[in-house]
Amino acid sequence: MGIKRLILDRNNLKVFKFEENIDISLKDNSNCSSELMFILSNENIKETNIHIKLEHETNLRLFVLVTYNTKGRSIKDKKNINITLNLLHENARGEVFLAGKYHSNSDTDINIVINNRKKNTKGYYRGINFLYDSSHIFTKGLINIFQFANKSDSYFKDNNVLLSPKTIAKTSPILEIKADDVKASHGATIGMLDESQIFYLESRGFERKDINDILIDGLLKKNFTEYMSDELYNLFKDNISN
Amino acid sequence: MGYILEIKNLSVEANENHLKIIHNLSIKFPEESVSVIMGPNGSGKSSLCQTIIGNPEYSITDDLGDILFFNESIKSLKVNERALKGIFVSFQNPVEVAGVSIASFLRQSYFNKFKDKKFNDFKEELLKSLELLKLDNDFITKSLNENLSGGEKKKSEILQLLLLKPKLAILDEIDSGLDIDALRIVSNAINTVKNQGTTIILVTHYKRLTEYIDDIQNVFVIMDGELKKTGDKKLIEELEKNGYKAINS
């Protein structure tokens, strides 16, 4: 499988239907702020690798939407989505937002690696996964803050919503810190939709299927809306809502 | 005029600990009336409200017990079916729903109920209701009940009541957390709903709310999950003067 290379040197938003291997570089001192969106929807691709390299004074927001169309069909192979955020030089900042919807018996591993290699670099991951049927997901997040990468700031936040009793979500955050004076944190949630919220909406006349959509939309908004344009948010919403 | 709601031999327990909360309770609420349910903390008032709307945390323990709405049993109906029939229960502590704006929630609830109405009807009624509650138009851009003060949460409940125009409104401690001015505003809104034909059941500990509500006909005192006394508005004065202990003696 080939590797696509994408070099960005100006402010832009690009939306890709991309499935396999891609290297993204933001060049040194380009002072650019880019937004990229990848839609992963081909169920036949077993592994997707996204490698990001950010140099001096660069700023990237990457949005990943996982919507394999596996509803109602049995899936044979496990899928791997690997995203590596390399913050190579000072003042590089990268943010990865991932939202996914998983159906049938799909089994997905998501591996997130954030490498803060130089001082004052910032790397953030924020994910939300909606699991239906008997789907499984395992998200691993590793934040590596290298020696001399002082004043770095990174976090890994992973949320998983179980929409069927047969779904399984696991999440494993790891922090490896070899520098002083840094900020690094992680947080994860795994749970079903809040029964008290469901009851409240039912008491106002809502049907259960509409309630799921309302609460899923609310969770997406809560996690993502302040970071993306309305246009991008609506694309996420349209793909994640049933 | 008949009864809008009839509680018949109702016994209720909390599913969590199987604690019996309501014991063989029977009360009738006349249509287009204002009734007040009073009682000390832990007497079963809120559990009764939650059972009427069908909260799955409570179970009716006796098969003979029933809840009739316009003479029809509703105990086997789903929560949303009870709501769509015209029962509205306000919550003491309405749950926060992050990411769902009050505006979109109100719009969807309104059109769930009034399918033939136009958007302009909704907008007009919404603006009128916000004005009645002295709320800024920005209020509806907030997430549902999230980061609202206690008073704002209560106003949010009343805003829903004004828009949904139920046949029966059961308002559970709608006065708690309200300052004097907010209490007057909320009471005025309740009177407005009442004058439009909604039957009101107020659940409260205190006399102060009842001073602002017009035409209170019935007062029911519940203690230890049982109906202890029935009366008219004078009973509220009696309770204020002598406390709940006097009811038992």
Nearest CA in chain A to B170: A203
Residues of B in contact with A201 (CB under 8 A): 97
Within an 8 Å CB–CB cutoff, is residue B99 touching chain A? yes
C-alpha distances out from residue A225 to A12, A217, A232, B100, Å: 19, 10, 9, 12
**pLDDT exceeds 60 at position A186:** yes
CA-wise closest residue to B91 among B158, B26, B33: B158
Burial state string for B159-188 with b = 16 or more CB within 10 A and e = fewer than 16: bbbbbbbbbbbbbbbbbebbeeebbebbbe
This model of the complex carries an ipTM of 0.96
Structure confidence at residue A4 as a pLDDT band (50, 70, 90)? low
**pLDDT exceeds 50 at position B20:** yes
- CB-nearest to B97 from A197, A207, A208 is A197
Q: Which of A130, A159, A200 is the best mutation test for B, with the most CBs of B within 10 A?
A: A200
**pLDDT exceeds 60 at position A10:** no
**Min Cα–Cα distance to chain A from B80, Å:** 4
Residue A22's pLDDT is 83
- CB-nearest to A203 from B79, B105, B112 is B79
Single-letter amino acid code for the residue at B97: V
Residue B221's pLDDT is 96
**Tens-place pLDDT, residues A129-141:** 999 999 999 999 9
Distance of CA A119 to the CA centre of its chain: 24
Structure confidence at residue A32 as a pLDDT band (50, 70, 90)? low
Q: Which of B57, B78, B80 is the best mutation test for A, with the most CBs of A within 10 A?
A: B80
Q: Which residue has the tokens 């290379």?
A: A5
Q: What is the DSSP letter of A41?
A: -
Q: Which residue has the tokens 């809040």?
A: A194
Q: Which value, in Å, is the radius of gyration of the alpha carbons in chain B?
A: 18
Report the pLDDT averaged over residues B116-128.
97
- Lowest mean pLDDT across A44-58, A155-169, A189-203, B45-59: A44-58
**pLDDT exceeds 90 at position B157:** yes
CB contact under 8 A, A218 and B99: yes
Nearest CA in chain A to B106: A204
- CB-nearest to A204 from B56, B98, B160 is B160
Single-letter amino acid code for the residue at A124: Y
**Min Cα–Cα distance to chain A from B223, Å:** 26
Residue A13's pLDDT is 61
Residue A3's pLDDT is 58
**Tens-place pLDDT, residues B61-71:** 988 999 999 99
Residue A45's pLDDT is 84
- Decide: B165 and B200 in contact? Cβ < 8 Å: no
**pLDDT exceeds 80 at position B1:** no
CB contact under 8 A, B97 and A218: yes
Residue B193 parent element (H or E): helix B180-195
Nearest CA in chain B to A194: B97
Structure confidence at residue A1 as a pLDDT band (50, 70, 90)? very low
- Decide: A70 and A44 in contact? Cβ < 8 Å: no
Residues of A in contact with B98 (CB under 8 A): 218-219, 221-222
Instruction: Give A45 or B148, the one with higher predicted confidence.
Output: B148
Cα A157 to Cα A126: distance, rounded to the nearest angstrom: 5
- Lowest mean pLDDT across A67-76, B21-30, B76-85, B181-190: A67-76
Cα B144 to Cα B106: distance, rounded to the nearest angstrom: 10
- Decide: A35 and A9 in contact? Cβ < 8 Å: no
**pLDDT exceeds 60 at position B90:** yes
Cα A122 to Cα A31: distance, rounded to the nearest angstrom: 15
Within an 8 Å CB–CB cutoff, is residue B79 touching chain A? yes
What's the mean pLDDT when you consider all of chain B? 95
CB contact under 8 A, B80 and A200: no
**Min Cα–Cα distance to chain B from A143, Å:** 28
**Tens-place pLDDT, residues A41-72:** 877 888 999 999 998 888 889 999 998 877 77
**Tens-place pLDDT, residues A107-129:** 999 999 999 999 999 999 999 99
What are the residue ranges of helices labelled H in A109-204?
195-202
Structure confidence at residue A33 as a pLDDT band (50, 70, 90)? low
Structure confidence at residue B53 as a pLDDT band (50, 70, 90)? very high
Residue B206's pLDDT is 87
- Domain locations along chain B: 3-248
**pLDDT exceeds 90 at position A94:** yes
Instruction: Give A69 or B169, the one with higher predicted confidence.
Output: B169
- Lowest mean pLDDT across A3-17, B30-44, B133-147: A3-17
**CATH for the stretch B3-248:** 3.40.50.300
CB contact under 8 A, B113 and A197: no
